[in-house]
Structure 1
Amino acid sequence: MSNSFENIRTAAILQVVPALETGGAERTTVDVARAIVAAGGRAIVASRGGRMVAELEDIGARHVEMAVHSKNPVVMALNVERLTRLIAHEKIGLVHARSRAPAWSALAAAHRARIPFVTTYHSRVHEKPRLKVFYNSVMTRGDAVIANSEFTAGRIRAVHAPDETRIFTVPRGIDIDGLAPAAISPGRVEALCGRWRLDGTSGVIFVHPARLTRWKGQSVSIEAARLLRARGTDGFTLLLVGDAQGRDNYVAGLQQAILLAGLEPHVRLVGHCDDMGAAYALSDAVLSPSIEAEPFGRTAVEAQAASRPVIVSDAGGQRETVLTTEGAATGLCVPPGDAAALADAMARLMALGPEARAAMGARGRAHAVAHYSVAAMCDTTLGIYARLLAR
């Protein structure tokens, strides 16, 4: 952490996020809170809560439970009052909003208090319908507008055209050290293998980690597995790792697709995983075949940090994070939604063999270490805070 953030030491910084359950925005919120505390400042997060609150409080930050996730106009108006009181009581010096509904309330409260307002555009930038574009425009009304990739920054410019001097690209940071193969004990991997019923007959293990929702492409992975089986390829296991978050109909559809294709020996829905380091470690390759452009694509970077080859959709932020040049490749890219191309890429990685996959994974880790550390993300973010607080 840089020593140049003198005004952070006397500051209280409020981050506002819908929940602290799971996901990239939530992980970044906790990482930045940790950096604020490490720099000597006070980190406060307002959200409706979730499984990551305990981690947040363990690092010395404070959590304030508030229904900032709500899109109800009455609740949003009440949140303006609640946030205004919180800002005054805690002597907040800067507010950072990480989602749209909370941002509207946070923007009004920050303006009332006449303190800097920062946004991070974690999600997709929609260009229609007009009402949605207006609703999303709150994410470009910050004194600093942070994009999590050059792809997202380009979309912000194209759709919202904010003042160029307010746009900053800060790639999401990954726990580089925690994901290193050497940091994962054999016991952690063995425990997960037992829980997921993996043994020496599992073959090449593909892990597809993502919350269970249509645009993350689980159905594409299942169809790719079906195509591999139709070609006579048996030596693989596909694990769909992720939380359904209430999408029971979608999950039922995935389970039916597995059943109808006779893929039960090869494809499993294993639910939420609290130890993704071990999940990456037990895999031979990682899939992220989103059918729509990822704003950033955390999975692809985490997999590379874990020294695992990746197969990603050739769209959005993932184009920036995965190298595909022959001889220097850290993974493979396939057209979004193309199950046949995904099956081809999976077969190609299987054919490479363990040594070539390990070499590709090693290149991926070097790439992640060079460009996507949490320290680099937090240093850049706190630098933005420091400049705004100085003003």
Structure 2
Amino acid sequence: MSAPPPTVLQVLPALGAGGVERGTLEIARALVEAGGRALVASAGGPLVAALEAAGARHIALPLDRKNPAALLAGAASLSRLIKEEGVRIVHARSRFPAWSALMAARATGTHFVTTYHGTYNEDFPGKRLYNSVMSRGERVIAISEHIAALVRERHGIGPDRLRVIPRGVDPARFDPAAVDPARVEALRRAWGLPANRPVVLLPGRLTRWKGQVVLLRAVSLMPEPRPLVVLAGDAQGREAYRAELQTLAAGIEVRFPGPVEDMPAALLLADLVIHASTDAEAFGRTVIEAQAMGRPVIASDLGGPRETVEDGVTGWRVPPGDPRALAGALARALSLPKEARAAMARASRAAVLARYTTRAMQEATLAVYRELT
């Protein structure tokens, strides 16, 4: 049997509801289940309760502040925490607090691991240096082959340090057979969806690069009767963008339900799930969530979905930012015979179970920790 993992301290700005934060919670839970100790330092947030319920410990530190004084104070606080708690590995998940974590790890002789979660733009001088902290781990975890290629190109990281660990979903939660039909019907009523209309769902916060504009323009090119569109995501204060979307939706039935708590039920409501991002996604977890639920997916042909969507088998890929191409794919997908749709659903879920589960992600990450101890 493998030895229990060591005490691991994960470091990030705050514990909100995003993918980085959920990944932090999932790894903390895996550490505890494997007999290790899981510490998380952040400024707090809505996931703290779930983290502590999983048996991990949260340490509140103002790691969401971005200034030189905060960087030095963060390094000092993390150094004390490492010594007091016997931390063996510091795992940094976000750039600014990663600099504090790197300083603390070096000061205490502690192993340092990073997860490279995004493409991290380089739009002004010095940005590559700033981003480079995420490449300075003894092990650098890339969340997709797309990100691994970027890390190799930008930072020259070789296979001795680079590990590709894709994001994962819980196949028990995202399982069509596990969703009570009453949950689906409750969402249908709440969103005012008629039972006899095809529903196209784009899950993702309301921000331009997520491609809501592309989808609405694509649907506007389709003949009547057009599918009903659900843009499920938080505007996060972008009310001008939401108003723009509502203007573009003239002649299209669109719902804006905001953030969705019961995503498995929402996915079952959809005839098609759309990923229309115009910038490359580091991974794109909503794609594999849809596939786990047996929903056909149309995805932009760039970034992480190139790895998770096998064109014509587990979904379709279209050129990013091309409403006409997306309109054609929508029409083809919605006309798919029932038998072909069922075959795609089986292939999609099988692909997720084979490669993209939470458990696979957890086990691969624990294996990285064990490499260092």
Alignment partner of 1:217 is 2:211 = yes
Aligned to 1:288: 275
Q: Following TM superposition, by how much is the alpha carbon of 1:76 offset from its aligned partner in structure 2, in angstroms?
A: 2.0
Aligned-residue RMSD, C-alpha: 1.6
For the residues of structure 2 that align with 1:205 and 1:314, how far apart are their CA atoms? 22
Other structure's SS at 1:168 match: strand
Aligned to 2:321: 337
Question: Relative to 1, partners in 2 of residues 1:122 and 1:200: Cα closer, same or farther, differing over 3 Å?
Answer: same
AA in 1 matched with 2:187:
L
Q: 1:315 aligns with which of 299, 302, 320?
A: 302
Aligned to 1:150: 145
Contact 1:285 1:310 in 2 (8 A): yes
Aligned to 1:362: 346
Q: 1:241 aligns with which of 232, 237, 244?
A: 232
Contact 1:308 1:362 in 2 (8 A): no
AA in 2 matched with 1:301:
I
Q: 1:302 aligns with which of 286, 289, 303?
A: 289
For the residues of structure 2 that align with 1:199 and 1:122, how far apart are their CA atoms? 39
For the residues of structure 2 that align with 1:44 and 1:246, how far apart are their CA atoms? 32
Matches within 5 A, 1:135-284: 135-201=130-196, 203-228=197-222, 231-234=223-226, 236-258=227-249, 261-263=250-252, 266-284=253-271
For the residues of structure 2 that align with 1:44 and 1:244, how far apart are their CA atoms? 32
Aligned to 2:35: 40
For the residues of structure 2 that align with 1:252 and 1:67, how far apart are their CA atoms? 35
Q: Following TM superposition, by how much is the alpha carbon of 1:60 offset from its aligned partner in structure 2, in angstroms?
A: 1.1
AA in 1 matched with 2:228:
T
Task: Give percent identity, aligned residues only.
Answer: 49
Question: Relative to 1, partners in 2 of residues 1:370 and 1:270: Cα closer, same or farther, differing over 3 Å?
Answer: same
Question: Relative to 1, partners in 2 of residues 1:270 and 1:42: Cα closer, same or farther, differing over 3 Å?
Answer: same
For the residues of structure 1 that align with 2:369 and 2:344, how far apart are their CA atoms? 37
Matches within 5 A, 1:24-173: 24-173=19-168
CA deviations 1:30-67 (Å, max 9, x no partner) are 11111000001111112222222222121111222222
Matches within 5 A, 1:340-351: 340-351=324-335
Aligned residues: 373
AA in 2 matched with 1:248:
E
CA deviations 1:249-280 (Å, max 9, x no partner) are 3223223322xx232xx211110011111111
Contact 1:121 1:139 in 2 (8 A): yes
AA in 1 matched with 2:352:
A
Other structure's SS at 2:153 match: helix
Contact 1:208 1:287 in 2 (8 A): yes
For the residues of structure 2 that align with 1:99 and 1:352, how far apart are their CA atoms? 42
CA deviations 1:300-331 (Å, max 9, x no partner) are 1111111111000001111011111x5xx110
Once the two structures are overlaid, the 10-residue window that deviates more, 163-172 or 313-322, is 163-172
Contact 2:4 2:34 in 1 (8 A): no
CA deviations 1:17-38 (Å, max 9, x no partner) are 2222222211211111110000
Contact 2:206 2:242 in 1 (8 A): yes
Q: Following TM superposition, by how much is the alpha carbon of 1:114 offset from its aligned partner in structure 2, in angstroms?
A: 0.8
Q: Following TM superposition, by how much is the alpha carbon of 1:345 offset from its aligned partner in structure 2, in angstroms?
A: 0.9
Aligned to 2:11: 16
Contact 1:308 1:358 in 2 (8 A): no
For the residues of structure 1 that align with 2:47 and 2:60, how far apart are their CA atoms? 13
Question: Relative to 1, partners in 2 of residues 1:251 and 1:84: Cα closer, same or farther, differing over 3 Å?
Answer: farther
Once the two structures are overlaid, the 10-residue window that deviates more, 184-193 or 351-360, is 351-360
4+ residue stretches of structure 1 with deviation over 4 A?
none
For the residues of structure 1 that align with 2:62 and 2:342, how far apart are their CA atoms? 46
Once the two structures are overlaid, the 10-residue window that deviates more, 350-359 or 293-302, is 350-359
Q: Following TM superposition, by how much is the alpha carbon of 1:357 offset from its aligned partner in structure 2, in angstroms?
A: 2.1
> Which blocks of at least 5 consecutive residues in structure 1 are unaligned?
none
Q: Following TM superposition, by how much is the alpha carbon of 1:163 offset from its aligned partner in structure 2, in angstroms?
A: 4.1
